[in-house]
């Protein structure tokens, strides 16, 4: 048997779980690059996923702390969808993916890693990005450091507005 190492996952598994919601805390810190925040809208913001499925995996997060769509106002829902579309446009310009997965996981059984604060995942996809490493080894190979990806995306989020 061969061993494949993914030590970055251990940081997440064993890492300190803050009592405060990270989606509520990060926007208030005003450290956008460090916190991987790419864009701030009126009712929601765009942040990179620190533990991505693919390079460029983004999340659109409402400022309102809620776990359900029912608790969002129409303005929140509109801003979330506009930022989702904007995120797709920015990812397309920066990385030219062949497709996207866009979705919301509501509840732990639906796959929500942070079930207390609703967010939309935007994942760029390329043919072959689920190769033998993912299928047989259950390992995802990330070819680029998160901050390098941030630096490539940031000009696209800075240049235009949704």
Residue 7 φ then ψ, to 5°: -65, -20
For residue 128, give the H/E element and its range.
none
List Cα–Cα distances, 51 to 73, 81, 150, 152, in angstroms: 29, 23, 13, 18
Catalytic residue among 96, 119, 121, 145: 119
Q: Between the CA of residue 69 and those of 65, 118, 146, what are the distances in Å?
A: 11, 8, 29
73 Cβ partners below 8 Å, 6+ apart?
43, 64
> How many degrees, rounded to 5, is the angle at CA 55 between CA 52 and CA 59?
55
Provide the 3-class DSSP secondary structure of residue 123.
Answer: strand
Q: Could you give the dihedral angle defined by the CA atoms of residues 129, 119, 102 and 36, in that order, rounded to the nearest 10 degrees?
A: -50
**Residue 119 annotated among the catalytic residues of the structure:** yes
Tell me which residues are annotated as active site: 119
């Amino acid at each position: 048997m061969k061993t494949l190492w993914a030590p970055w996952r251990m940081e997440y598994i064993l890492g300190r779980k803050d009592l405060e919601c990270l989606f509520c805390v990060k926007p208030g810190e005003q450290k956008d690059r460090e916190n991987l925040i790419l864009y701030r809208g009126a009712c929601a913001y765009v942040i990179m996923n620190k533990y991505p499925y693919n390079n460029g995996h983004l999340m659109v997060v409402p400022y309102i702390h809620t776990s359900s769509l029912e608790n969002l106002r129409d303005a929140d829902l509109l801003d979330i969808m506009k930022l989702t579309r904007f995120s797709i446009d920015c990812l397309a310009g920066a990385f030219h993916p062949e497709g996207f997965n866009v979705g919301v996981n509501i509840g732990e059984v639906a796959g929500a890693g942070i079930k207390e604060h609703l967010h939309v995942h935007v994942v760029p996809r390329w043919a072959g990005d689920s190769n033998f490493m993912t299928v047989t080894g259950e390992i995802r190979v990330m070819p680029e450091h998160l901050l390098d990806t941030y630096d490539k995306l940031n000009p696209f989020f800075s240049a235009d507005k949704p």
